[in-house]
Amino acid sequence: MPYQINSRYNARVGYSKHDLQQAQALRHTAFLGGDGFDRDAFDNICTHVLIDDMVTGRLVCCFRMLPISRGADISRSYSAQFYGLAALKHYPGKMVELGRFCVHPDVNDPDILRVAWGAITRYVDENAVELLLGCSSFPGTATGIYHEVFALLKDRYLAPASWAPAVKAPSVFCFARDLQDHKPDMRLAMQRMPPLLQIYLTMGGWVSDHAVVDWHLNTLHVFTGLEVCTIPAARKRWLRALAQQLDAPPLAG
């Protein structure tokens, strides 16, 4: 089938302390470089998904998911530290925050993202999630190299006014304002857009009108939302085909 997942990779839920440490080590390598552990208090309340290379035994990707059962609980999300999310307090459905998504910097295989989205889709379907949210990251904190991407986001992908995040972080790049007259170079924009954000946008995702400068993780990030009901039918078929190919057991909510 056209979107068949390479059986080399396996997605699993991390339950043990060792699993969590593996994820934290990969996150440190991906975001900060070198050896160490990226840790925070949210690790203790999230479901962690790990993707292994079954040939080498290496952990190649990980992310975590935080279920939010109602809009009134949005303040407990990781993203709420950086964005004013008062508008989402009125969101009527179940949400899940996807965070700390990273792929090992030495690995470049699109099947890894396919396996990851298969696992995310399974979680969304099994838990009746209506909104995916999180922070989509850009490597580094220099905004200039991403102007074409930000100009494209400004032109086509800003959040609906009803759910739009407000500025909260002390260091931000208000690209919708500062680049309002900038017309994007589409080729450069697509070359420099992070792969995870590309996938969100092709499914109907939207972003905040500003990027947060995260000095701790050495990244820029935009708040990203994806309402499941707005995903095009063809994309939903693709996602569910990926989910059906996973060997992993159901992901608990």
CA distances from 57 to 29, 52, 107, 219 (A): 17, 6, 13, 28
| pLDDT confidence of residue 3 | 38
Do residues 46 and 15 make contact, with C-beta atoms less than 8 angstroms apart? Answer: no
User: pLDDT digit of tens for each residue in the chain (253 aa)?
Assistant: 333 456 799 999 999 999 999 999 999 999 999 999 999 999 999 999 999 999 999 999 999 999 999 999 999 999 999 999 999 999 999 999 999 999 999 999 999 999 999 999 999 999 999 999 999 999 999 999 999 999 999 999 999 999 999 999 999 999 999 999 999 999 999 999 999 999 999 999 999 999 999 999 999 999 999 999 999 999 999 899 888 887 644 444 4
| CB-CB neighbours of 81 under 10 Å | 14
Place of tokens 């699109």: 110
| pLDDT confidence of residue 160 | 96
| pLDDT confidence of residue 128 | 95
| pLDDT confidence of residue 91 | 94
Residue whose C-alpha is closest to residue 213's, from 176, 175, 169, 177: 169
d(CA 87, CA 89) in angstroms, rounded, equals 5
| pLDDT confidence of residue 2 | 34
Q: Which DSSP string corresponds to 100-163? A: EEEE-TT---HHHHHHHHHHHHHHHHHTT--EEEEEEEEESS-SGGGHHHHHHHHHH-BPPTTT
d(CA 108, CA 105) in angstroms, rounded, equals 8
| pLDDT confidence of residue 7 | 72
